[in-house]
Amino acid sequence: MRVFPQNQWYVAAWSREVGRDLFARTICGEQIVFYRTLDGRVVALADRCVHRRYPLSLGTLRGDDLECGYHGFTYDCSGTCIQVPGQERVPRTARVRSYRVVEQANWIWVWIGEEAKADLAAVPDNHWLDDPGWTMIGGMAPLPARYQLLVDNLLDLSHETYLHAGFIGTPEVAATPIQTEVDHAEQVLRISRHMHGVECPPFYEKSTGFSTPVDRWQDIEYRPVCSYVLHSRIAPAGVLPGDAGGDTGAVHAKILYGITPETEHSTFDFWAVARDFALGDAEVSDFFERMNQEVVQQDVDALTLLERVIADEEKADAVSEHGRVQELSIAIDAGALAGRKMIREMLASPTPTS
């Protein structure tokens, strides 16, 4: 069985990461070099020269062409070799893979899989990251753990009560049941938790000015594997959206994650938070960034530990039938279990879905 679902768009980088300097990143076990052409277009090529497999990311840009730093094989933006040293004829098979890329709202997406199946319309919507009606902060945390652990983490927000107490966690998050829906037509998993008259977590109390009690909604949309959006709503208790769709008494945040496998046991955790309040307020943005970095790091620390535990159990399991502890799931795990099932089905499919 494959480790990573193919025929998928994955977040490869923030737009700010890719420029005229060659930028190397491994996505789903594939080494890729990124750069921008002179007119600003993003190029993604396999990061291995066909001659002696030297990393092209250690080469030099010549205009829009990439020259290998070992023997000078030179490639155009399509990955076709256009020049080799010591001879005029370029071997017909001298080319490296060129990856389809889409730059959208501050994220660069790369297509892993069959190029002919790259559907531009399937790039997940992340417009909040450059929408003038929202203010955004974001970053990326390298995670030395398998991507499935981050998926579990984000689909089961009950851990906020314990792991993120003092930031975004309150007792009501773990105590409130969830609603789970799998939309097979759109390949999207929706998980909702609506809390009424509950404690306002410090994260929102300090940034919105609201005080306890509040109504707090968490509505997750997850499109396996990479795209995760948490639609967060906070309002003074009893303030409900209007009949016409207005919600002037509330504030909203969009918490986005790009869950991008690097290798079988490491992941790029792209994260962002967009808000529709205190727009352009640098002090609020600084607070959001500090708090979110703390929360993300708490997740990274926990999942790094969990990866080591699982890896040790897998080793023990190979030599003893008693090596692994039985995993127990409960009602609140319904969303995470649905996400696991969707990924298993994608991995098992003879023709991976897009």
Q: What percent of the chain shows pLDDT beyond 70?
A: 95
- What pLDDT was estimated at residue 244? 62
Q: Which of 96-100, 111-115, 144-148 has the lowest mean pLDDT?
A: 111-115
- Domain positions in the chain are 8-121, 131-348
- What pLDDT was estimated at residue 242? 74
CATH number of 8-121: 2.102.10.10
- What pLDDT was estimated at residue 281? 95
- What pLDDT was estimated at residue 351? 53
Summary count for the chain: helices (H), strands (E): 6, 17
Which residue in 149, 121, 107, 88 sits closest to 15, CA to CA? Answer: 107
Q: Which of 34-38, 98-102, 318-322, 329-333 has the lowest mean pLDDT?
A: 318-322
The enclosing H or E element of 182 equals: strand 179-183
pLDDT (tens digit, 9 = 90+) per residue, 255-313?
Answer: 999 999 999 999 999 999 999 999 999 999 999 999 999 999 999 999 999 999 999 88
Residues with Cβ within 8 Å of residue 208, at least 6 apart in sequence:
234, 251, 277
- What pLDDT was estimated at residue 325? 73
Count the neighbouring beta carbons within 10 Å of the beta carbon of residue 186. 10
Place of tokens 């003038």: 132
Tell me, yes or no, if the two domains 8-121 and 131-348 fold the same way: no
CA distance 150 to 171: 22
Which residue in 140, 138, 196 sits closest to 25, CA to CA? Answer: 140
CATH architecture, domain 131-348: Alpha-Beta Complex (3.90)
CA distance 184 to 223: 11
Label residue 353 by pLDDT band (50, 70, 90). Answer: very low
CA distance 67 to 65: 7
- pLDDT of 333 > 50? The answer is yes
pLDDT (tens digit, 9 = 90+) per residue, 146-157?
Answer: 999 999 999 999
| Alpha helix stretches (DSSP H) within the chain | 147-155, 160-163, 171-175, 202-208, 282-317, 334-348
Higher pLDDT, 194 or 248: 194
